[in-house]
Every structure is written in C-alpha cells, then in structure tokens.
Amino acid sequence: MFEIMKEKVKNIYDQYDASHDFQHIERVLQNAETIIASESSCDKEIVRLAVLLHDVSDKKYSDNKDLETQLINELNLSEDKKQHIREIIESVSFNGGNELTAKTIEAKIVRDADRLDAIGAIGIARTFAYGGAKGRKLYDESEEARVQMSEEEYRTKSTASVTHFYEKLLLLKDLMTTEKGKKMAEERHAFMVTFLEQLSREIKGEY
C-alpha cells in the first residue's frame, strides 16, 4: 500500500518547485524513520502514509482538498485510521503560529520530521528556492518580522526570504514535540544562526 501510494504522489510533488518536490518527501520520510527508531511504540504505517500525503493539498500550491480526500479514501484502511491520517495532516502546518495541536505520537513524529526539513542547511536551500519561485527578495533590511499574525496574513504577504527565518524557521527548534526531534533540531538551528550572522556581515560589507 505504501509503495502504490508513493508512486501516485510522486507525480504530484514533481509538479511543485524544488522546495516542496518529491525529494522533500523523501527527506521527511528519512527524518520520520530516525524519530520512529527512538520511540517505544507508534503506528509506523500511519506515519509513513501521512508523510507521503501531507503536502498533496498544500495551500501554497492548491486550495483543493479533493485530491487529498481522494487519495486517503483509496487506502485499504479502516475509517478510524483514515481519519487519523487526516488529523495528522491538519496538524503539520505552522500557519503563522496558529498551528493545531499534534495530539498523537504519530502526529508529533510527522510534524517534527517535516519541520526538521525546514531548518538547517536544507532549510536554508528550500527557503531561497521557494522565494525564487515566488519572485521574492533575498532580504529587505527595512522589513520587520511579524511576531503575531493570522494564518491569512502569514500566507498572503510576500515577505523577503530572510524575513521568513525570523517569522518561522528560527522558532521551530523550540516547537519540536519529540525528544529525538528536539535533539536533531539543535545542530540545524545553530547552523542557521551562523548562516544569518555571516549573511548580515556580507550585506553590510563587514570584513
């Protein structure tokens, strides 16, 4: 069932830009497997399927939930498990700080695995890949990072890529929900801080 769904979603993700293509899904799966190995128990099948499906109806690319619904309904699972996958997907998004609670260990694993791919070296690369695809500035020193915002404000304002670090990425380390996720986030967070410090020096011409 996993392999069949993997083939179905690959074609969907390969239509997205490099920040959310199928390689993103592969990295999140890898992160999830690492976290799973540190947990005493969880439904591995649900975690893996939720990772595969978590971005097929991403609001950045589509407002249509029908595809996600269709694919979940095709799974040979009980209705309770299908609903669990829906709830996991709903709880993954940051939504400008208006995230839903990850209530189950499976939801926590998927959310941490996805957020780990948003930080560190790969997170930096993805941020600028997405910004480039959307025609955003690399940085804007006059732009202030928003501390509080609605989900609509978060999604509709095209801020510079560097601003996104302060509005989301630098916050994720402290929002990890599993012990393994917290440990994995430490190094990635530190790398982003170092990158931003170096970037700032280069922008200002400090040598």
d(CA 146, CA 68) in angstroms, rounded, equals 31
Give per-residue pLDDT as tens, 74-105. Answer: 999 999 999 999 999 999 988 777 788 999 99
Could you tell me the pLDDT band of residue 147, with boundaries at 50, 70 and 90? confident
For 50, list phi and psi in degrees, rounded to 5.
Answer: -65, -40
d(CA 149, CA 128) in angstroms, rounded, equals 22
d(CA 59, CA 1) in angstroms, rounded, equals 26
Note whether 144 and 124 are within 8 A (CB): no
pLDDT value, residue 190: 98
Owner of token pair 């769904």: 5
Q: Where are the domains of the chain?
A: 2-204
pLDDT value, residue 137: 96
Q: Give the pair of three-digit tokens for residue 27.
A: 């990295």
pLDDT value, residue 200: 96
pLDDT value, residue 40: 87
pLDDT value, residue 113: 98
pLDDT value, residue 45: 97
Burial class (CB in 10 A: 0-12, 13-18, 19+), 204: exposed
Q: DSSP secondary-structure letter at 145?
A: P
For 89, list phi and psi in degrees, rounded to 5.
Answer: -60, -40
pTM as predicted:
0.93
pLDDT value, residue 66: 86
Give per-residue pLDDT as tens, 26-80. Answer: 999 999 999 999 998 999 999 999 999 999 988 888 767 788 999 999 999 999 9
Give the CATH number of domain 2-204: 1.10.3210.50
